[in-house]
Amino acid sequence: MAERLVVDHAYTSQAYPNNIIVEVDGEYYLIPSRERTNNELSSFRKISKAAIEDNSEELPNYRYILKNLEKRSGYDITIGRAISKREFDELKTKWSLTAEDISEPFEYELGGIYGEKYLQRCLCVQIRVHKSDAISIEKTLKKKGIEASSGSPGRINIRIQIQTLKEFRAHLGMSQSEFATYFGLSVRNVQEWEQGNKSMPPYLLDLLERVWKAENK
User: How high is the mean pLDDT in each 10-residue block of the chain (217 residues)?
Assistant: 87 93 96 92 93 88 93 90 93 96 89 87 92 95 95 92 87 91 95 93 89 84
**pLDDT at residue 55, rounded to an integer:** 82
**pLDDT at residue 11, rounded to an integer:** 96
DSSP string for residues in 132-148: HHHHHHHHHHHHTTB-E
Are residues 21 and 52 in contact, defined by beta-carbon separation less than 8 angstroms? Answer: yes
Q: Dihedral sign, CA of 80, 81, 86, 88?
A: positive
Residues of the chain within CATH 1.10.260 domain(s) are 164-217
User: What 3-state DSSP class applies to 59?
Assistant: coil
Specify the amino acid at residue 8. D
pTM: 0.68
CATH 1.10.260 for domain 164-217, yes or no, is yes
The number of residues in the chain equals 217
